[in-house]
Structure 1
Amino acid sequence: MENGTIVVQSTEQVTHQEVEKVRTPFKEFWRKFKKQRLALVAGCFVGFLFIIAILGPIITPYSSIEPDYENILSPPSMEHFAGTDAFGRDIFSRIIEGTRISLFVGLSSVLVGALGGTVLGLISGFYGGWIDSIIMRFCDVLFAFPGILLAIGIIAILGPGLGNVIIAVAIFGIPTFARIVRSSTLSIKATVYVESARSIGAPAKRIIWKHIFPGTVSSIIVYFTMRIGTSILTAASLSFLGLGAQPPSPEWGAMLSSGRDFLNTAPHVTIFPGLAIFITVLAFNLLGDGLRDALDPKMKD
């Protein structure tokens, strides 16, 4: 009995140790991601930005729109942490309110671009032939234009405004998403389980969405995250040129544009919105790098 008990206990112990070694995909992802210290910090900062965007109207000490002509171009102080602009509006409050606008523009434009590019990439990679050629030539045409010039051309047709900025930035992102998804689709299409599904007569729609699309998700997530920062920067550039958000909207690019006439006399009007853009774009890029390293199965510890 004692020997039998020892054998049972030993078997249970080995089995428990083997179970602990088995990692779920999420645990494996988290194990790799938490080693990326910069990505962790960037992820926390991005989460903080979303909290600010949600609580913006509650936590802003002053109105972001109403002028205060008694405090025009005041430097940073205990009363106004980031100073005031040419209309006496608190810059700190405007940056907080602008966080919501910038995140909304970045997320919505990338989401639209990701949806369009993913569908085109799946269709192009799965069917191939003349369909693939047409879609890829369409992407080549879009790639032929620098992103900011393409966005300016689209807004010149549609007119200025945040809604048209979202459309312009989304179109700018479609070809890259399409190329990324097409590349993943071509490699997944050649796998055994996809060939087996085709051999038994599974519908193309089912194969694409059940067998191929899940394999492209990690690549989409990585580029989606990094693309948000680029979209925020592009939208800010368009607003700086007067093609995006219009006054008195507290959009970061528009704030930069309104402060360029005071670079010598009141540099804080442009410094703080510029820092907000720089840090936000950097955070999304670092987070995207961390996600890429954590989701890539080829990356070793």
Structure 2
Amino acid sequence: MSERNVASWNTIFSCLGQSGRDREALELFDEMRKQGFQPDEVTVVSLLPVCARLGAVDAGQQIESYAESSRLLNDFISVGNAVIDFYCKSGDMEASMRKFREMPRKNVVSFNTMITGMAFNGKDRQGVKLFEEMATEGVIPNDVTFVGVLTCCSHTGMVDRARELFASMSMDHQIEPKLEHYGCMVDLLGRSGCVREAFDLIRKMPMTPNAALWGSVLSACRTHGDKELAELTVKELINLEPWNSGNYVLLSNLYAEAGRWNEVEKVRVQMRGRCVHKVAGYSAVG
């Protein structure tokens, strides 16, 4: 390219980042600076995630310092969001919160970044508290916000609060829960021993559940010793994935453990009738 400008560099950074060539992107950033080009807000927003993925904290902090001295950090919310996201993904929640508090303006992405970061860095109760702050600052939550705060509730066993938040999505915010929100609730209820409630919640979903949701309930059934519900859950898995031999083996083993050998034989007949073959490595009693 005979003539380059900042937009040209930004396009290359974006392409490299999207294709997983993060180290090349950082090396090219050094070349950009050597050639006298000044990064803009798009450059900063493109490269801070690259630094986070590489664990290149020093490089990220240098980019942040440039953003601060050039007033990009003050002038663009997107830059502030990229900075707090960088620190969250680097595991430095203290720095992330400090930068969040220093932001002159915040939007829903700012709060979502912090709440999600807290959920993945063991600061779950702080994440729930930060959600409460959104209302005082006049920031309206969206579906991503609720995934983050429900995850925080799940990690800390805040069952009642999660129920309130889940109900408030449609009642107060006109947000219809998606599969991710149901997943958070099912995980929380299962962890907390409310296995039947988790099972019923999936059955009432307006969309088709996936195997991961039923698998979460099955895991909770095993943890809490609910064999009856485990049987019903495995049957739901078979209805969802009639081709998956592993589900039939799970059901067969449940029956075998209970000494229900007639049921074990019925499962085998069902497998033969559907031309489902047991995969090597799965264990079926008998």
Query: So what's the TM-score if we normalise by structure 1?
Result: 0.21
Query: So what's the TM-score if we normalise by structure 2?
Result: 0.21
**Bigger relative contact order, structure 1 or 2, given CA contacts below 8 A and separation 6+?**
1
